Amino acid sequence: MAHPHEQEFTELIDQHRGIIFKVIRLYVNHEEDERDLFQEILFQAWRSYPNFKGQSKFSTWLYRVGLNTVLTFRRRPKLVVPHEDLSVLKVSIDERVQPEETEALYIAIRDLNELDRMIVTLHLDGYENEEISEISGLTKNNVAVKLHRIKETLTKKMKAY
């Protein structure tokens, strides 16, 4: 017998699966780990879905589940995350940015700590500070301050490239 929310959950995941892939590609570069992590995020989302109350957008909730799962997964000892292959990053960037600038930005973002990387990635994806606050667990003001500092850091790094 199927779970009563299975079809609803499946449809929501189909609509928002890009979030899962984006989160994975920001933190993992190995195909085998990507497959494992995709399955783990689906499992964690399914397990947590009964607790989703709709107080935030499904995409915000899924981003949080995905990021929490990725960060937990990355702490496992078997995972190696090299910084060389940046072609797998699929962050939403303004299309007017030149390819060399985009690659430099990817490098600069990958050099940030995990929390700052998450904040700037969500910002680049168009999430408002309030939504970033929900996902990260930081206050809205703390997100604003961190974003300002991250932008300054990225600007300095971009000028160095």
| Domain edges within the chain | 1-86, 91-161
CA nearest to 33, candidates 64, 63, 74, 66: 74
- pTM higher than 0.85 for the full model? no
Would you say the CATH fold of 91-161 matches that of 1-86? no
Taking only the tens place, the pLDDT of each residue in 8-59 is: 999 999 999 888 888 887 777 677 778 888 999 999 999 999 888 888 889 9
Q: Taking the domain 91-161, which CATH number applies? A: 1.10.10.10
- Would you identify the CATH topology of the domain 1-86? Rna Polymerase Sigma Factor; Chain: A (1.10.1740)
**Residue entry with tokens 């920001």:** 26
Instruction: Print burial letters for 95-134: b (CB count within 10 Å at least 16), e (below 16).
Output: eeeeeeebebbbbbbbebeeebbbbbbbbebebebebbbb
Q: Which two tokens stand for residue 93?
A: 């960037």
Taking only the tens place, the pLDDT of each residue in 87-146 is: 433 433 344 445 566 677 777 888 888 889 889 888 888 889 999 998 888 999 999 999
